[in-house]
Amino acid sequence: MKSSKLARAAARGMTLIEIMVVLVILGLIASAVAVNVIGRQKEAELKKAATDVQNIANQGVDAFRVMRGRYPSTEEGLRILIQEGFLKANQPDGSIKDPWRNDYVYLYPGQKNPDGFDVKSNGPDGQPGTEDDIVNY
């Protein structure tokens, strides 16, 4: 008889309280994952922008100078580096944008490097001259 009671209890399934406990546990796990992923996303965007700025400066501008004997002008900007194959565009329109969909800034002569050039991203806020700018100098 005892085994038939156990069989009926098992056949009934889970109680409402058991289901609620499972949902609370899943919610806690999901919130912990979301907090970690969002923090990592911002960190990854900053690192990508810093890497892009250095690649533009080294593989683009410096390589152009070695091959052409001069730096690109501010007017030529990064466009000439893409056209001549020194850099690869990361947008369908043939431009290079930072992780926040803003154009990278190229200046020659540079404001910070008057004897050279400046390459920078205006950072997450998109505003020039703020503390979150990412620069090659």
User: Does 2 score more than 70 pLDDT?
Assistant: no
Radius of gyration of the chain (CA): 27
The rounded percent of the chain whose pLDDT value lies above 70 is: 91
- Please give the residue that has the higher pLDDT: either 99 or 3: 99
Assessment of whether the complete model's pTM goes beyond 0.75:
no
Residues 6+ apart with CB under 8 A from 78: 56, 60, 72, 87, 95, 96, 104, 106
Mean pLDDT of the residues in the chain: 90
Beta bridge partners of 135: 120
85-127 per-position pLDDT tens digit: 999 999 999 999 999 999 999 999 998 889 999 999 999 999 9
Architecture of domain 22-135: 2-Layer Sandwich (3.30)
42-80 per-position pLDDT tens digit: 889 999 999 999 999 999 999 999 999 999 999 999 999
User: How many angstroms separate the CA atoms of 110 and 4, rounded?
Assistant: 85
Phi and psi of 121, rounded to 5°? Answer: -110, 140
pLDDT value for 9: 59
